[in-house]
Structure 1
Amino acid sequence: MHKSERLFQLVNVLKGRRFAMTAQQLAAHFCVSERTIYRDVQHLQCSGVPIEGEAGIGYLIADHALPPMMFNVEELSALLLGSKMVGAWTDPTLSEHARSAMAKIEAVLPDHLKQSQDSSPYLVSSFSHNEKQQQLNKQCRQAIEGKQCLQLSYCDVNHTATQRQVEPLGLVYWGGKWTLVAFCLLRLDYREFRIDRIQSACTLDIYFEQHSEKSLSHYVALVTAKYANCSNNK
């Protein structure tokens, strides 16, 4: 369990309890050392979480509203909006994690901040992201994370069908359309493939390595330099 997840769970365990829990009990619950619990409690107390008690006696959180993880209204709005975007525009697995994150954030919001979020001016639409594109998005993401090649059946802007074996490097969202950035083994160069134009994809048992001249950051640097040069020549 990551520290951030443990801290959140620690707050949930201590919140509203009638009796204090000792560091030993908490350590057993989270399968960590008592020293880790002491550090976690100190971290939460310094962040403004009203944990009462002390080492050797036990800890609890008084039954009153908790600060929203020390985020202000604007920060919470940004986090919730970002989670809604992930939930609507990515793949099913990330969407589920986004909904879980939103539930955790909303669980500690005071009423006045919940009302503020209910009146948010932003609406995140998912109309153009169908199940096929979501599954392709997930397959591409997993291939990127696993550094596995993909075999794509692709239809370009001229409706020309082509087969490409690529090394997937990243997914870029262009406001309505996802694009797979990859190193094409046919062209031996970077190419962009719109997810909605991929007819099918097969993850291959072929692995690749990234380096300074074959990576998403290198691709972004080349594109940035290209557009900078175009602007300077105008």
Structure 2
Amino acid sequence: MRKSERLLQLLVLLRGRRRASTANELANRLQVSERTIYRDIQSLLLSGVDIVGEAGVGYCLQPGSGIPPLMFNEKELEALVLGIRLVKGWADDELCAAASTAQDKIRAVLPPQTQQAHEHKLTKYLVPDYNRQAHVKFSEVIRSSIDSTTILEIEYSDEKNNASTRTIKPLGLMFWGAKWTLVGWCQLRDDYRVFRLDRIADAKLTEKSFNTSPSCSFEHYVQQFGPGISTGFWD
């Protein structure tokens, strides 16, 4: 890896951490020696990057400090644009609109030749949005309830078409490639339950909030699937 690429990755790591990172942690992530990390930190400081910390304690970017805009390599850009297309094909209207503006922002900073090359490559990917609305019913209400930790009441029909009213603590959404499911703590069953969005007939926010706990959270539910599955954005 060239030094310029390593410095850029080091900046990305520092910007993505809320706490100070030790040289050992950074060295393990970048697969270099601690001595290399110390030299790279010094290089960034000399170039004007506002890093605070010291050896043996850790390093972090000064809050509010700016760093040069990041450029994506070919595969990173391809992954980003494909991800945006997946969102536009399988998410609700609000997220679809956000994906479109994000795509416009990415396109705006790309050189014309890069734009043309990637537009051509991405014609080989197709993400149909057939019946999208049926698969994302009440998604905006559900996301709002998750973000605000607000109790949700839903009218739900199971695979045998048995209808019931459920009061749940909405914890997270999972996408299985064809279906969205809501993971929640069902007060009726006093346990985790998973609800397909296309089987929800109605969803209403209540005025009651809830708290998660180590034994009642989206992370705890996901861990039950086994090692290797993570909800962390920065993992």
1:212 maps to amino acid: P
TM-score (norm: length of structure 2): 0.65
Identity over aligned pairs, percent: 37
Residue matched to 2:194: 192
Is 1:82 the equivalent of 2:83?
yes
Q: Tell me the distance in 1 between the aligned counterparts of 2:117 and 2:189.
A: 51
Question: Which of the pair has more CA radius of gyration?
Answer: 1
What is the CA distance between 1:135 and its match in structure 2?
Answer: 4.8
Classify the secondary structure of the residue corresponding to 2:224.
helix
Deviations 1:6-43 (A, max 9, x none): xxxxxxxxxxxxxxxxxxxxxxxxxxxxxx99x64xx3
Q: Tell me the distance in 1 between the aligned counterparts of 2:85 and 2:173.
A: 18
Q: Tell me the distance in 2 between the aligned counterparts of 1:135 and 1:197.
A: 9
Is 1:109 the equivalent of 2:117?
no
Kept after mapping to 2: 8 A contact 1:151/1:201: yes
Kept after mapping to 2: 8 A contact 1:148/1:168: yes
Which of structure 1's runs of 4+ aligned residues deviate more than 6 A?
A: none
Residue matched to 2:129: 126
Q: Tell me the distance in 2 between the aligned counterparts of 1:125 and 1:142.
A: 26
Kept after mapping to 2: 8 A contact 1:150/1:166: yes
Query: Unpaired segments of 5 or more residues in structure 1?
Result: 1-35, 48-68, 226-234
What is the CA distance between 1:108 and its match in structure 2?
Answer: 1.5
What is the CA distance between 1:97 and its match in structure 2?
Answer: 1.2
Residue matched to 1:54: none
Is 1:169 the equivalent of 2:165?
no
What's the Cα RMSD here? 1.9
What is the CA distance between 1:158 and its match in structure 2?
Answer: 0.6
